[in-house]
Structure 1
Amino acid sequence: MRGDVVVSPSGDEIVLADVGQVVLHDDALVRVWDVALEPGETHPWHLHHNPYVVLSIAGSAGRMDWLDGSEPRFLSEYRGGAVYRPVSPVHRLTNIGKSFYRNRLVELKDLGEHRTEPLDVGPGARSVEGEPAEPLPDGRVPVLLHDHVGVWTVTGGEVDLSGPHVLAALDSDEVRLHPGGPCVLAGEWFVVELRYPTAF
């Protein structure tokens, strides 16, 4: 968490940053952050305490470096894509591409901080750009489907949602939790189903 101090393999003390830059929404189930990086900019060393979903608003190439010196991971996110990730060692993210990068990072509290130990979600999942997807009758287009979360995009209209969902606009900072039932959306949205048991 922000302000926590960890020690690097070389013995340097590192003060950790938050997992995101600005909190857009925070309730009993989820915390949603804005993460935005210009080309060449780095989000500093941080540590996730919750499994999380990354919803890509503006894509770019990225490099994830690990404080323990492990080999970096190279990423290429795209607008409308999503990633589901477990908690992981201390790392930082650099936009190594030539375009602006932005995401909505959704922390899943019931799988992390509300438990004695975070749930082992395995490797998580990642959407694939250009992969064919059959829309649902209500217009939702599947992006990423996992046992714990389902992610769709939808452009306007009414959707009837079963159980709690996180709704995140692609063209504004609007984010909210929807308890389930009918919902009318204008514009382009991520619709994230929380498929695990919740108290909501």
Structure 2
Amino acid sequence: MKGQVVHSPAGERIVLDDVGQTVLLDNELVRVWDVALPPGQTHPWHLHHNPYVVLSISGSEARMDWLDGSEPRLLNEYRGGSVYRPLSPVHRLTNIGSRFYQNRLVELKDLGENRPEPLDIGPGDRSVEGQRPGPATGDGRLPVILHPHVSVWTVEVGGDEARKLDLSARPHVIAELARNGAVAHHPGGPLTLTGPGEWFVLELTY
């Protein structure tokens, strides 16, 4: 949470930043942030209070450093990929690659701040480039993550096409797979997307 004060093992006073840079959507279920880092830029120390889903719009090599001094974690996210993450210790993220890095970070409030204690989701899940966790759906969605808590697909719609998605009755987040793309909440049920474009479809399966 922005403004929260913590201390490093050496006693340095650290004022935490938000988990993202710009809020794109905020309702009773989710809070969606834009996270964008040009090469060499760092998103400052922050702490997650909700399990969250990362929807990768533009991937690059990145490094996650931990305030407690633990070994850094190296990442190489890719366009159209996704990560489902639990709460973790205070950390910061640096784009160490040569490409622009951007994602939509979706906080899941009902698994975190809306509960007396955040849910322990275990290790979460991560997509693997070039691999799908299941077959395409009948309406053309390609699976990215299929977890008991969240399901993520991508779907591409041609220029003159209007595609009807046969979504479940559960709430969804719909995010354009584009740098300045829109993000919307969908309460569930059929949804029509008009092309051209590509979207993430995130189902709150829990």
TM-score grouping bracket, smaller chain normalisation: over 0.9
Aligned counterpart, 1:112: 112
**C-alpha separation in 1, matches of 2:18 and 2:193:** 30
Q: 1:134 deviation in Å?
A: 2.3
Q: Secondary structure at the match of 2:110?
A: helix
Q: Can you list the C-alpha shifts for 1:66-108, whole angstroms capped at 9, x where unaligned? A: 0000000000000000000001100000000010000000000
Alignment of 1:39-54 (within 5 A): 39-54=39-54
Q: What is the letter of the counterpart of residue 184 of structure 1?
A: T
Aligned counterpart, 1:160: 166
Tell whether 2:204 aligns with 1:191: no
Q: Which residues of structure 1 form unaligned runs of 5+?
A: none
Tell whether 2:55 aligns with 1:17: no
Q: What is the letter of the counterpart of residue 159 of structure 1?
A: L
Aligned length: 196
Percent of residue pairs bearing the same amino acid type = 71
What is the Cα-based RMSD across aligned positions, in Å? 0.8
**C-alpha separation in 2, matches of 1:62 and 1:145:** 24
Q: Can you list the C-alpha shifts for 1:36-56, whole angstroms capped at 9, x where unaligned? A: 000010000000000000000
Q: Secondary structure at the match of 2:166?
A: strand
Q: Secondary structure at the match of 1:161?
A: coil
**C-alpha separation in 2, matches of 1:164 and 1:86:** 20
Q: 1:184 deviation in Å?
A: 1.1
**C-alpha separation in 2, matches of 1:134 and 1:112:** 31
Q: 1:64 deviation in Å?
A: 0.2
Q: Any conservation in 2 of the 1:51–1:111 contact (CA below 8 Å)?
A: yes
Tell whether 2:174 aligns with 1:174: no
Q: What is the letter of the counterpart of residue 102 of structure 2?
A: R
**C-alpha separation in 1, matches of 2:181 and 2:49:** 24
Q: What is the letter of the counterpart of residue 167 of structure 2?
A: L
Q: Secondary structure at the match of 1:110?
A: helix
Q: What is the letter of the counterpart of residue 187 of structure 2?
A: P
Aligned counterpart, 2:152: 151
**C-alpha separation in 2, matches of 1:109 and 1:173:** 23
Q: 1:25 deviation in Å?
A: 0.3
Q: 1:174 deviation in Å?
A: 0.7
Q: Any conservation in 2 of the 1:53–1:85 contact (CA below 8 Å)?
A: yes
Aligned counterpart, 1:27: 27
TM normalised by structure 2 equals 0.93
**C-alpha separation in 1, matches of 2:102 and 2:115:** 29
TM normalised by structure 1 equals 0.96
- 54-63 or 175-184, which moves further after superposition? 175-184
**C-alpha separation in 2, matches of 1:16 and 1:59:** 25
Q: Secondary structure at the match of 1:181?
A: coil
